Structure 1
Amino acid sequence: MTEPLTPGPSAAPGRRRFLRITAVGAAAAAAGLPLAHEAAALTSFVHPGVLHKVSDVERMKTRIAAGTEPWLGGWNVFRTDQYSQSTYTMKGPFATVDRGTTEAHNWELWNDCNAAYQNALMWNLTGTTAHATKALQIIKAWSSTLTSITGKDAQLAASIYGFKFAAAAELMRYTAPSGAWTAAEITRTENLIRNVFVPLVNTFGDAGWGTNCVKAMLAFGVFCNDGAIYDAGVDAFYNHGCCKVGRVLTDTGQCVDSGRDQAHTQLILGSLAEACEIAWIQGQDLYSASSDRLLAGFEYTAKYNTGNTVPFTTFGSCLATYTSLSTVERGVLRPIYEMAHNHYVKRRSLPTPWTYTAIQRIRPEGAAFQCDHVGFGTLLFTL
């Protein structure tokens, strides 16, 4: 079963641009970052432009005020979530966070990143100043304190948590109450991203590690107004040997982690969709890359995880090969499907029958596992 193929109100980005190689591209080369071969450099950025532009926020507010489903159900899940509360108690900040070795303050950082992002959205959707205050409290505290991320999984922490942190900072930079965030404080936040997050993330990596880095680099580039950082993410999406979309997904939609487990498979899909959504706002269509390979990935994974049979060929990442389709966490659907469904159905008029089947089982989408995704797609991305 699928929704009618009716284009939504956001059938195209506000500023569609077929972009030219410019001085931004020269900046990428000067910084030692690769330049995208299949999508030329941006000349400017749309702000706010990490997942939500102004018209997206207005759409949500209008739907909530009208009490229209499925947005209302999505709103009720979002507004009652623990991280959406202005009374949230900040867990940090700390100078050093470790993931994968000592785990020092790892839990604290991802909790605070969730709360910063969700309070930034709550501020935009309700106009309640307490939410803006909470989001900025968290952003300012960590940006003035965090100096290093360590551990064997440091890159994952920097990409996953950094992405959510940048999404929060981007919203607040362009919507914060007047005088609430000084230019010096904003610069300090940029410096945190440039000096702590980017050096860990811009090496990318295999499979899910790499795709998380892709989405993070796009978000970092937008917030920092840095074409070199942004272009490095786009280049990896198209060209990186171990995490490009054409490597992590086959033309049938099978994922490099389909034989590993379904949680990591969905982590890859969700991360790629988040990267594509940022690029779409910026006027670039990554969603259609490799003949809509991402759509094939969502359909394959949704079909299998809603109890159906799919083909499988021995396949894997650059570091691991799998000979059979994994049943580990099969049927445990992550809140990643609304974003892709709404793009392909509402903007592109393409069918997504299995993706929509998955959506029907979990709608309204709620919070993501830990800090892995944005979540709440029924509210945030239904067009």
Structure 2
Amino acid sequence: MIIKKPAGFILSCAMLLFPLSGWSADTFKHPGMLSTSDDLARITAQVNQQSEPWFKGFQQLKLSLGWQPRAVDIVYRGRNSEHSENYPQLYRDIAVAYSHALYWKTTGDEAYAKSAVAILNAWGGTLKEIRGSTDAALAAGIYGYELANTAEIMRDYSGWNASDFDTFKTMMETVFLPINLDFIARHNNTKIDHYWANWDLAQLSSIMAIGILLDRKDLYDRAVDYYKNGDGNGAIGKLVWKLYPEQGMGQIQESGRDQAHSLLDIALAGVICQMAWNQGDDLFGYDDNRLMKGAEYVAAYNLGKTVPYTTYTNSDVTQTQISASARGEVRAIWALIYNHYVVLKGLSSPNITEMATKIRPEGGPWSYGASPGSFDQLGYGTLLFSLGEE
């Protein structure tokens, strides 16, 4: 189905092909993470007209004005003898705050802005540490980028007190960022290929997002450089490590592990590329659209198709065949990838297209079973990233 669009909308989509022309990441664009002010204005206009697929995407927003934040001073992820895990309190609060932030931006209903800010303030003024097992780094990475993205949407809300925003930024800089940077630097003193790609990608997502939030170009540049040139498995050449030119695909570093983590790899890499794109850097296109080739591979296999596979070996494992574990799992990650590569750039990605079509409209975390993994991505891609094709 092709939606008829006004000339202004078509022009705005065409302009997206040239990210922030005349502007550089020396000065950050705000909002400028997963969504820009132009994106949010486009979304609002389409929802107000009840145009599809945006309106169906808008209807997926999880709203709960009575939600009370459950902020704690220490978040635990990973079992240890010190404390039981409590990290679901954080990711559930983030999910509500993000959906309320989007609802406010789309409708102007200030009650939802107040709710989102109340959740951000609760965590900004309370959280002091992230502990647990080594999994604490996953919490710092995934929830770091998600919190920063939520705050980025709310940063221009006049009802968010400047001192409260400063407190929140300080919390991000002192609680999340040190863990992100330490992991990228040391990898817990393991061999460089020990950790799966998603660990690096989670840290890079958070470092980049916090860099934008804090207007710290050094952090942003570090994330971009690592994504291109890093030694760990989160660098794009190691994430999509084996190319199959005839099929237009690339094997993912975690393909022999399971599909849940392969999907997470695509989700996090997509987040990194989208944030960079909105700051004027085309990581989507880096190394001849290498991420697209990896996403095409993951989409094909999880659609039930046969894909080539090459034995993967690192210092810990040898995987001789692709893993069918969690094959077919649904995550709200495909609208972002599809709309950038296929709609915006006009590239052929049949499996990405099929997957995006299959799960449209994309919901939020509660739409996919509310398991911990469903909160690893913020969701609502149909609302946020659709550029006109349904």
**Structure 1 length-normalised TM:** 0.87
Q: Is 1:74 matched with 2:57? A: yes
Larger displacement relative to structure 2 (229-238 or 100-109):
100-109
Amino acid at match of 2:375: C
Cα distance in 2 between the residues matched to 1:320 and 1:375: 32
Instruction: Tell me, yes or no, if the aligned pair for 1:302 and 1:354 is still in contact at 8 Å.
Output: yes
> Using the alignment, how far apart are the partners of 2:313 and 2:139 within structure 1?
23
User: Which residue in the other structure is 1:295 paired with?
Assistant: 292
Counterpart of 1:64 in structure 2: which amino acid? V
State the match for 2:28 in structure 1. 45
User: Does residue 181 of structure 2 align to residue 198 of structure 1?
Assistant: no
Runs of at least 5 residues in structure 1 that lack an aligned partner in the other structure:
20-41
Residue type of the partner of 1:194?
Answer: E
| In structure 2, distance between residues paired with 1:76 and 1:370 | 18
Q: Distance in 2 between matches of 1:136 and 1:129?
A: 11
Looking at structure 2, the residues matched to 18 and 321 of structure 1 have their Cα atoms a distance apart, in angstroms, of 46
User: Over the residues paired in the alignment, what is the CA RMSD in angstroms?
Assistant: 2.0
Is contact 2:34–2:271 with CA below 8 Å preserved after alignment? yes
Secondary structure of residue in 2 paired with 1:254: strand
Alignment of 1:9-48 (within 5 A): 9-12=14-17, 15-16=20-21, 42-48=25-31
Q: State how far apart, in whole Å, the 2-side matches of 1:352 and 1:70 are.
A: 20
Runs of 4+ in 1 over 6 A off after TM superposition: none
Which amino acid is 2:75 matched to?
Answer: V
Percent of aligned positions that are identical: 34
Q: Is the 8 A contact 1:337 1:358 kept in 2?
A: yes
> How many residues get paired?
350
Instruction: Write out aligned runs for 1:86-235 (5 A).
Output: 86-90=65-69, 92-101=70-79, 102-152=83-133, 153-174=135-156, 176=157, 178=158, 180-202=159-181, 203-204=183-184, 205=187, 206=195, 207-235=197-225
2:73 maps to a residue whose letter is A
Q: Is the 8 A contact 1:333 1:358 kept in 2?
A: no
> Equivalent residue of 2:130, what SS?
strand
1:61 deviates by: 1.0
> Which structure is richer in relative contact order (CA contacts within 8 A, separation 6 or more)?
1
User: Which of residues 373, 376, 381 is equivalent to 1:372?
Assistant: 376
- Structure 2, unaligned runs of 5 or more: 4-9, 188-194, 245-249, 366-372
Task: Measure, in 1, the Cα distance between the counterparts of 2:95 and 2:226.
Answer: 26
TM-score (norm 2): 0.85
Matched, 1:61 2:44: yes
What's the CA shift for 1:277?
Answer: 0.4
By how many angstroms is 1:55 displaced? 0.9
Contact 2:43/2:384 (<8 A) preserved: yes
1:331-359 per-residue CA deviation (whole Å, 9 max, x = no partner) reads: 11211111011111222111111011112
Query: Displacement of 1:316 after TM fit?
Result: 5.2
Whole-angstrom CA distance in 2 between matches of 1:289 and 1:106: 34
Work out whether residues 97 and 103 of structure 1, in 8 Å CA contact, stay in contact via their aligned partners in 2: no
